[in-house]
Amino acid sequence: MSGEKEKSTVTSAPPSPSPSSVAPSVEFSKGINGLQKVILRESRGSSAEVYLYGGHVTSWKNDHGEELLFLSSKAIFKPPKAIRGGIPICFPQFASHGTLDQHGFARNRFWAVDEDPPPFPTNTLNKAFVDLILKPSEEDMKIWPHSFEYRIRIALGPGGDLMLTSRIRNTNSDGKPFSFTFAYHTYFSVSDISEVRVEGLETLDYLDNLQNKERFTEQGDALTFESEVDKIYLSTPTKIAIIDHEKKRTFVLRKDGLPDAVVWNPWDKKAKAMADFGDDEYKHMLCVEAAAVEKAVTLKPGEEWKGRLELSAVPSSYCSGQLDPQRVLQGS
């Protein structure tokens, strides 16, 4: 990662009772290349970092300070390039599903801190959160002639869960509806891709991006990885488990308002072809993306869409059955 050192200001939420923990906090600071970022810290030690450039989560750490998201060592923190890793936001277009550049423009725009967000839909205990907002510039209106307000709340739960809640409102004054596709393009950090299993997508239909988006049906077992994969799973369950045997860790992805899930690993050849990605880094990442792709979301003026992602990382020793993903997927 290339760039300048970091500077900061801290606002801390009211102190929490237990002596051992620190008060949840929200810190505004300068990140790589002087880009503005926000650091969220939770009382038991978990943390997350969000760049206003792209409204982009670039780090999520558990209460042992272990990084849970993959961020390429070659990531470029310089517009107009999107940051390679973390959680890029694909809006108003997923991949090449439309006339805009790949994955739309939200991931390479500067978002603002939303000083006056409308009341938040759910009552939340979370103290460590930030609200960001994106509105189209005149330039954006030339390529996508729609007025919108995109608000996102990024929050860290008391247990270290990471929650992203997007609210997109059509503010067109010309009465026109608009449609968009969407993804939280999450890069999970894994120990060894050949040791990872994904549960919850078995037997589902998917569009294979490596075969002209042809439609297939997944076989019955958990997904494992031994080559490039780029699949859009359709109408998936709201919970998906990503099991990292070696790290004895299971990521549980819960999603709301996002019917599809994209699974991507570039493997060796595509890895070499990407300038902002290390040749061997494909071994240590997997993208599992909560998405709305097959059926675009359409909003009339005044209407608002909500898309929510909740990530948790739980210690698991799958082999000993301590945490059987099936129980996770069927449980609360």
CB of 155 to ligand TA6, least distance (A): 24
Residues from 128 through 187 that contact ligand TA6 (CB under 6 A): 185
Amino acid at 152: I
Our answer to whether residue 245 is catalytic in this structure is no
Q: Which of 185, 199, 281, 294 is catalytic?
A: 185
Question: Is the Cβ of residue 8 or residue 102 nearer to ligand TA6 in the bound state?
Answer: 102
Residues binding ligand TA6: number (CB under 6 A): 11
Q: Which of 95, 154, 193, 290 binds ligand TA6 (CB under 6 A)?
A: 95
- 3-state DSSP call for residue 70? coil
Look up residue 143 and give its DSSP letter. H
Q: d(Cα 149, Cα 167) in Å, to the nearest integer?
A: 8
Our answer to whether residue 289 is catalytic in this structure is yes
Stretch that binds ligand TA6, among 3-11, 61-69, 95-103, 197-205 (CB under 6 A): 95-103
Phi, psi of 281 (to 5 degrees): -70, -20
Sign of the Cα torsion 46, 163, 245, 1 reads negative
- Among 6, 12, 136, 128, CA closest to 61: 128
Question: Is the Cβ of residue 88 or residue 160 nearer to ligand TA6 in the bound state?
Answer: 88
Q: Which of 264, 282, 305, 318 binds ligand TA6 (CB under 6 A)?
A: 264
Q: d(Cα 263, Cα 26) in Å, to the nearest integer?
A: 32
* Radius of gyration (C-alpha) of the chain in whole angstroms: 19
Residues from 74 through 93 that contact ligand TA6 (CB under 6 A): 82
Q: d(Cα 152, Cα 290) in Å, to the nearest integer?
A: 15
Q: Which of 27, 49, 140, 230 binds ligand TA6 (CB under 6 A)?
A: 230
By annotation, the residues acting in catalysis are: 185, 289
Q: Which residues bind ligand TA6 (CB under 6 A)?
A: 82, 95, 102-103, 185, 209, 230, 262, 264, 287, 289
